[in-house]
Structures are given as structure tokens and as C-alpha cells.
Amino acid sequence: MGNRFSGHASAFVIAFASSCLTAQARVPVPHHVVIVMEENHSYSEIIGSAQAPYINSLAAAGALFTNSHAVTHPSQPNYLELFSGSAQGVKDDSCPHTFGTENEGSELLEAGLSFAGYSEGLPGRGSEVCTYGKYARKHAPWTNFSNDPAKRNLPFTSFPSAFAKLPTVSWVVPNLNDDMHDGTIKQGDDWLQANISAYVSWAQMHKSLLILTWDEDDGSQSNRIATIFVGPMVKPGQYGEKITHDNILRTIEAMYQLAPLGNSMTAKPIKDVWQ
């Protein structure tokens, strides 16, 4: 019986590997990717806003996706989707949760690459607290996965100033004031300029990428959000294909030849924005 199916299994493995290599060949392999997630604003509230001059300068310098959408409401399922290709059955902002499924962080580590999440206001390395001041665990999806080491869950104060020391992929999560959840658009824009602009400048000379996106809109635009890619491998311009958090995850998986997770299996990697 084992031999009866071995040919089919081998063909599947070869086809899957070929698909991964084809996807990877159409995307760059950045030395570093930094993902920054903002909160609860629609595309039209951000793009063209006088309250967000720095963000709009990033949109002009990089790839602006004009038809980017979150997958659901409220916040937490969107973070989980971008991190693991699934909301993991979560439909609200409840805390805590524990999952054992594969995810972006675990796959990177298994591939011999590196990952870390940097959260503003996290009280200490590896903390699993649900809230602390303006820190919210619901915005730090890696804390919910038992196969992601706690040592990869870091306060933003640990974000390296020597950017070459960054992991392969990292997430940066501002606190509730600075991610526009409780604070203003201007406050979020100012925080990004103060804390991320140095990385953006460095990335241009070091084959590295910034991905700036939002978890969801404000409920007014069918979950249409701003998503921006900035880096030396990006062709500046506006891109109108529909993308979701799953396409972003699939693109990162293609960059590092990781197996597609969950809903990213049926999402296409983004391939038209590269130099």
C-alpha cells in the first residue's frame, strides 16, 4: 500500500517545492524586514492627510497599495491573520490565548533565520501580561504561540540602534497612544518619524524593507486600509491590485522560502512592486 501512493506523494512534494521556488524567484530576499502595525483608520483618513506628513512621504517614496484591505473586525484577529494566516478561531480582543500552530516566527526560526517582536510599553522581556499601561497583548500576536520563544518577545527599548543586529523579520508595535488607537493620527505620524525614520534611511543602503500597514479601518470604508512598502528593492508608485494581510504574509513566506500558512496558501505573493 505504501508504494501505491509514493509516486503521488513525491509528485506533490516536487510540485510544492517548485511552486515555492517560483514564488521566491519573483520577490527579493531582504536582509531585514520590519513590519509596523497601526490602528483603526481607513485609507482616506491617512493618505493625503495633513496630519500624517511623514507617512505620506513614505507613500511617495515607496509602493502605496490603494486597494489594501484588512480581513475582519476587531483588531486581534487581523494581527493573528498577518502573523499566522489564520485568526485561530478568535473573533474578539479577548486575552490570553495559547496556540501551538506554525506561524511566521516559528517558521523563520526553523529555517535558521531570526524573528523578534518589539512592543512599546511591554514591561519586560517575555512578559505575557494582557495589559500594562498603554501596552496591549492583543496587538502582539507572537505572545500567543507556544512555539515562539519568550525571549523573542521584547520591549521596544530593545530595538537595536545598530540596525544590522535586527533579526531577519521583526514586528514593531507602538502603544495604544502611538499606534493611533487612542492617540491622534498626528501622534502616530510623529512617533513613526521619531522612531522608524532612521531605520528607513539605513535600509536604503542595506537591502532592507519597511512594511507599514493598519490592522483594520474605522468601519467606514469596507476595511480598506493604507499599506506601504519602502526599501531599495521597491519600485515607487501606486498599485491597485487588491491585497489583504494574507498577501503580505505570503510575500514574506516567498522571500524566505517558508511554507505557506493557513489562508496565505491561497493568497498570491506581491510581485509587481520590485525593482
pLDDT digits (tens, 9 = 90+) for 56-86: 999 999 999 999 999 999 999 999 999 999 9
Q: Is the pLDDT of residue 275 over 60?
A: yes
Mean pLDDT of the chain: 93
Q: Is the pLDDT of residue 46 over 70?
A: yes
Residue 149: asked if its preceding bond is cis (omega within 30°), the reply is no
CA 47 – CA 145 distance, rounded (Å): 34
Q: How far is CA 258 from CA 90, 169, 172, 252, 253, in A?
A: 24, 13, 21, 8, 5
Are 87 and 101 in contact by the 8 Å Cβ rule? The answer is no
Give the list of residues 6+ apart from residue 41 with CB closer than 8 angstroms, or none: 180, 185, 214, 217, 218, 225, 226
pLDDT, residue 14, reads 46
Taking alpha carbons only, the member of 11, 41, 71 closest to residue 249 is 71
Residue 96: asked if its preceding bond is cis (omega within 30°), the reply is yes
Which residue reads 524573528 in cell numbers?
115
Three-state DSSP class for residue 119: strand
Q: Is the pLDDT of residue 20 over 60?
A: no
Three-state DSSP class for residue 274: strand
pTM for the model: 0.91
pLDDT, residue 25, reads 57
Q: Is the pLDDT of residue 2 over 60?
A: no
Other beta carbons less than 10 A from residue 150's beta carbon: 13
Phi, psi of 159 (to 5 degrees): -60, 120
Q: Is the pLDDT of residue 4 over 80?
A: no
DSSP state, residue 27: S
Fold of domain 2-266 = Alkaline Phosphatase, subunit A (3.40.720)
Phi, psi of 21 (to 5 degrees): -70, -40
Chain segment 171-228, per-residue pLDDT in tens? 999 999 999 999 999 999 999 999 999 999 999 999 999 999 999 999 999 999 999 9
Q: Is the pLDDT of residue 18 over 50?
A: no
Q: How far is CA 15 from CA 19, 70, 114, 247, in A?
A: 6, 30, 27, 21
Share of the chain above pLDDT 70, in %: 91
Phi, psi of 223 (to 5 degrees): 65, 30
Q: How far is CA 135 from CA 77, 128, 157, 190, 217, in A?
A: 17, 11, 13, 18, 20
pLDDT, residue 26, reads 87
Share of the chain above pLDDT 90, in %: 91
Ranking 20-24, 120-124, 134-138 by mean pLDDT, the lowest is 20-24
Maximum mean pLDDT: which of 12-16, 94-98, 147-151: 94-98
Helix or strand (DSSP H, E) at 61: helix 53-61
